[in-house]
A and B are shown apart, each in its own frame.
Chain A
Amino acid sequence: MIRLISARLAVMMLLAFTSWQCSNPKVEATNLSVVPLPDTLMGRQPLNDLSETVKRLLPYAKKKPVLLAQAFGELGNAYHALNYMGLARDCYSNANLLDPQEYRWAYYLGKVQRSLGNFEASDVAFQNVLGLRTEYVPAMVWIAENAFDRGLYEAAEEQYKNASRLDVQCAKCLYGLSMVASAQSRFDSAATFLQMALDLQPQASQLHYNMGLVLRELGDMDRARKHLALAESHPARRVDLVLNDPLMIAIQAVQQDALSLEHMAQKALERGDYQEAIATYRRCLQLDAERPDARFNLAMALLRLGRRELAKQELNILLSHKPDHAPSLVLLGNLSRDESQTDAALVFFQRAVLADPAGPKGDLGMADVFRYSGQYLKALKHYQSAAVIDPADHHAKLGSVISLVLLRQYDQAISKLDACLAAFPGSSLETWLTARLWSTMVASTPSYHLNLTQFLAACSKDGLTVFEMETLAMCYASLEQFSDAIRWQTKARDSAANQPESFESAARRLNDYQQGRTCQEPWNNNEFELVLHSWTNKKGQLN
């Protein structure tokens, strides 16, 4: 009996050992790919911790392969979330090598290989997933996608069908079947699959787009155009076809950390999607309220949408955490100046100078305030201070020139202007024109007329932007042709009112020329009216 038990025990131990051998091949640390932590990511959590865990467990590759696999897998997730696909691939490869029984690592490896364009390697990984979980629909879908992308339509169709049988709610499977049918010119069939997918996900842009193309092929032009009109191509506005992909939630969770959210918000801000940027910055600040850049950019995004008070609130919160945050002080100074709160503006700019004595923006802000309030000498002094701090600063140079012109020190203005133009030979149309116009204005009237004519010729009369209209108005005003100035300013105002987006764009460009690079707040709506009013007065005086 004892012998029998011993024999059974021996068999069981052998089986267990064999099983361990299969699931844990003898992996030496030297067989694993080296996955460096790039210098740029040093010190970033949780990457640092994950990387340290891997290092700590690496000597135990043989003894604790599953644990090390887990560590590599989690590090891979972090790289994956940050879009370091090469490093993610190496981590997942290691994890998969260490623990081939864990379908997650194979799945992530398949996804990353696909994103790197390695379709065969991706297939192998997904097939490993199916070897472990035979009915895992997302793996089937990606195998199908890999096949489709290589023109292997029959293989793709088979996988889509299998996946569709297992998950009748899988709109992506139906879409895949429609794509195969369409590629094989079976347009009736394609339309049927697309309609089934649309019944499941009626807003998905690519379903509408392909339905439009299929209906066009079928000669149903009216319906085709209707579907195409619903196919939004802009990434920020389109509704994507959704695949139920539970493992990717882990990646998305990693992406939810504050830094990732800040990056995502930054991207949204850069592409002009302010609504998305605001929402994402707020999520970011919920996780970490003391991220000055995130809060400052949130304020910027709010300003872009005209939410000045909310923006000011955010800037004040920021200053309560970080009283010497110079960009916030400058921005609040600009906002105060626009609201004609000259004294408040000057206080903010003075604080900015103290907070960042090496930065020119505080001086520039003060200079602008003085210039707009007619104190040209003080303005000139601060522009010159800014120019000393940053000799290449466009705003400082141009501001000095304008102040000199206003002080009627024309010779000095022209001399500075020449230097300014030499420093910015490739500067924009607006800057060039402004500079030329100022220079010719102080030179002689005939050449000014010539420039104006050239400007008119350079502009398309049917397509003037708000800014160009304003520039024209400014030209006429400085020629004291106020009727024309008022006409163009009115046009600019009306055009801006009818085209909010181009108004904002024009405002930004106008700010650019006025403030060099400190393009930080939208144009004040009242400016149009103020300018019109002043010119109307001047016209009256002339008459």
Chain B
Amino acid sequence: MEPRPKSGPYMAIVLAAFCILTCRPTILDSGMVSTSSPEIFIDAAADSGLDFHHENGASGHYYFCEIVGSGCAFFDFDNDGDLDVYLVQSGSADAVPEQDAPMDKLYRNDGVLDQGVFRLSFTDVTASSGIKASGYGMGVATGDVDNDGFTDLYLTQFGANSLWRNMGDGSFQDITEQAGVNDLRWSTSAAFFDYDLDGFLDLFVVNYTDFRLTNNKDCVNEGELDYCGPLSYQPITDSLFRNRGDGTFENVSGPAGFLNSPSTGLGVVCADFNNDGWQDIYVANDKKPNHLWLNLGDGRFENDALFRGNALDAQGLAEASMGVDAADFDNDGDDDLFMTHLAGETNTLYVNDGKGYFKDYSVNTGLGPASFAFTAFGCAFLDIDNDGWQDIISVNGAVKAVESLKLNNEPFPYAQSDQLFQNKNSSFTEISHKASILALPTVSRGLAIGDVDNDGDADALVNDNNGQVRLLINQVGQNSNWLGIRISGSGRRDMLGTRLAIHRLNLPTQWRRVRTDASYLSANDPRILIGLGESPDFESVTVFWLDGSVEQWTDLPANQYSTLVKGGGTEPSLDIP
């Protein structure tokens, strides 16, 4: 009798034969074969001249600030119609600054349209801009504080913040002291918005903890020195600065009600969450309940996050909230919230019922489990494929050494891959595999979204902690129809906070908000992009100005950008929901 083959090899042969006969390339939900799917993103940073490398100054002391920064911005500082890039540098937290110490950088977009293709090319204009941001940088916020039509910059730091006025000639001037917007504490994200509806952008600054080099603590992770968490230090309060309209700001944090709620803020987004006509503030706090500051309309704000349902996760636990964005992902006319969290927690999607009451729909929408293993920071809603549904990107990187990387003796064992989620009818599916550039492990932090090549889709700028900047160019969105809109006041200022409704026949109305805030330590393109899918047709665009007036435009061209100036529209003819 011949011996029977052992079951192991026998089964392997059978399985192999079965696989050869039956295995095919994976069919993806789009119906396309994966091997022929285009890459959603390519990284164009190096080729276009963005040579920025973030330095965290890792000192061996595990200073808390080293693992937190930093941010980046898309903004058009020279008003030439394309997005320029600002990148926040950190450097060394405890060394004496040297002449050649790394600093923030401003890159001018000198791209040109060449045979219908925008050829990206960036020039480092930091020196000529006059910006000298040499402290330990954290974040950046953009907005036109003096209504001169040129976008100004507010820089947050682990140290003194600064406000840089755009002079309109390519240079910036430090007006921090005269404007009165300094904050010497550890600030993270900041946002420009008009909370008192006086036509001037006010400033909200999020502060993190009272960590200083002099109270640095030794924290241990799995037996080794590692970075501390926020609960190791005292929480601190956030700041609100009211723009007086004369080039100065008034610190109204006290009367506005912010001084009794110290916390550990990292992310911020401003929008009218309860639909009462006043801009509210949502702050993502690290390991503390998040804050929803409802604007009472009389200069005061009230935190009602617990009752509104977006302070804690579904278990009633405070999560380690990092980045946050607000958008109408389900096309029902209100702004929902997405925020990123620590590994072991899920990223969270809070769905707004239209009256400012929220429910945690992370599980229902498919966003929960996929994020469980990641520590995510920058995040944004963006319609990656211009199908009319806003997708989500989150960029990730740990804050505690990752066990497997540490065992492999990685020198900076915090890298993780990033994630992309596709929205179809308010349900999300992870499609990171369609963007292999996102699979490269990095310690991602800042993320800004904007159409940097003006081709009608959302690109992404990522500032990686202790890493090379990445410029992720969207390769798929431009294949669908789109509508590009800039919302401007009479002085060419981007009208942050203004809402738009894009009406389409037999399709859901799409809602957008003009903003530069959200994500993490970063500032976004204020222009609006609306994905129209296969058909370029739409009925009208209704603009809801902050002062309560409403205008409508019906004859805008698809697949290009238009600027809608206040007073240039008509009375709305459609029923406004």
Contact = CB atoms under 8 A, between A and B. Distances in A.
Contact of B237 (A210, A228, A427, A463): A463
Contact of A210 (B93, B220, B316, B366): B316
Given A87-B403, A216-B309, A233-B312, A432 B364 contact: no
Interface string B174-185: 000000101011
Contacts of B180: 457
A49 interface: no
Nearest to B223: A40
B215 interface: yes
Interface string A49-71: 00000000000000000000000
Contacts of B220: 263, 266
Contacts of A452: none
Contact of B316 (A206, A460, A463, A519): A206
Contacts of A150: 363, 368-369
A41 interface: yes
Contacts of B193: none
A36 B407 contact: yes
A148 B403 contact: no
A116 B343 CA distance: 9
B373 A429 contact: no
Nearest to A179: B314
Name, among A224, A426, A428, A509, the residue most crowded by chain B CB atoms within 10 Å (CB to CB). Answer: A426
Interface in A425-479: 425-429, 431-432, 457-458, 460-463
Contacts of B216: 517
Nearest to A119: B369
A40 B312 contact: no
A517 B254 contact: no
Contacts of B136: 426
A537 interface: no
A86 B407 CA distance: 10
B135 interface: yes
Interface string B202-226: 0000000010111111011011100
Interface in A312-371: none
B259 interface: yes
B101 to A, nearest CB: 10
B316 A151 contact: no
A417 B53 CA distance: 33
A149 B316 CA distance: 15
Nearest to B135: A426
Interface stretch (B39-47, B228-236, B321-329, B466-474): B228-236
A517 B366 CA distance: 47
A231 interface: yes
Contact of B373 (A83, A116, A233, A422): A116
A228 B307 contact: yes
B306 to A, nearest CB: 5
A519 B214 CA distance: 9
Nearest to A38: B407
A209 B312 contact: yes
B311 interface: yes
Interface string B149-178: 000000000110000000000000000000
Contacts of A149: 346, 363, 368-369, 372
B254 A148 contact: no
Interface string B303-318: 0001101011011111
Nearest to B63: A426
Contact of A517 (B158, B215, B224, B314): B215
Given A87-B403, A270-B232, A40 B215 contact: no
Contacts of A512: 212, 214-215
A208 to B, nearest CB: 7
Contact of A427 (B212, B222, B359): B212
Contacts of A255: none
B215 A460 contact: no
A225 interface: yes
A427 B253 contact: no
Given A216-B309, A216-B357, A225-B307, A426 B94 contact: yes
A205 B316 CA distance: 7
User: Which of under 10, 10 to 19, 20 to 34, or 35 or more describes the interface residues of A?
Assistant: 35 or more
A38 B223 CA distance: 11
A460 B256 CA distance: 12
Interface string B337-373: 0000001101000000000010100011010110011
Interface string A144-178: 00001111000000000000000000000000000
Q: SS class of chain B's interface: helix, strand, loop or mixed?
A: loop
Q: SS class of chain A's interface: helix, strand, loop or mixed?
A: helix
A423 interface: yes
B316 A426 contact: no
A86 B403 contact: yes
A233 B318 contact: yes
B289 interface: yes
Nearest to A241: B315
B259 A460 contact: yes
Contacts of B214: 394, 427-428, 431, 512-513, 516-517, 519
B507 interface: no
Interface string A70-91: 0000000000001111110000
A508 interface: yes
A263 B368 CA distance: 30
A255 B470 CA distance: 43
Nearest to B361: A183
Name, among A423, A462, A519, the residue most crowded by chain B CB atoms within 10 Å (CB to CB). Answer: A462
Contacts of B315: 206, 209
Given A270-B228, A463-B259, A234 B318 contact: yes
Interface in B112-147: 135-136
Interface string B275-295: 000000000000011000000
A519 B318 CA distance: 29
A213 B308 CA distance: 8
A151 B403 CA distance: 29
B225 to A, nearest CB: 10
B444 to A, nearest CB: 18
A40 B237 CA distance: 38
A202 interface: no
A150 to B, nearest CB: 5
A3 interface: no
Interface in A230-286: 231, 233-235, 238, 263, 266, 270-272
A427 B93 CA distance: 9
B38 interface: no
A382 B346 CA distance: 54
B219 A117 contact: no
A115 interface: yes
Contacts of A458: 182, 184
A110 to B, nearest CB: 15
A301 B187 CA distance: 29
A20 interface: no
B404 interface: yes
Name, among B220, B343, B369, the residue most crowded by chain A CB atoms within 10 Å (CB to CB). Answer: B369
Interface in B67-95: 93-94
Contacts of A508: 215
A208 B232 contact: no
B73 to A, nearest CB: 22
B373 A117 contact: yes
B210 A505 contact: yes
Name, among B219, B288, B363, the residue most crowded by chain A CB atoms within 10 Å (CB to CB). Answer: B363
25 contacts: A40-B222, A40-B223, A44-B223, A84-B222, A84-B403, A115-B344, A117-B372, A150-B369, A151-B363, A151-B366, A179-B314, A205-B316, A208-B316, A225-B307, A228-B307, A231-B312, A270-B228, A271-B231, A425-B96, A427-B214, A460-B251, A463-B237, A509-B210, A509-B215, A517-B215
Given A238-B316, A270-B228, A270-B232, 7 more contacts: A87-B403, A149-B368, A183-B364, A235-B317, A263-B220, A425-B135, A429-B184
The 9 closest A-B pairs by CB, nearest first: A209-B316, A462-B254, A117-B372, A271-B231, A117-B373, A463-B259, A206-B316, A270-B232, A428-B212
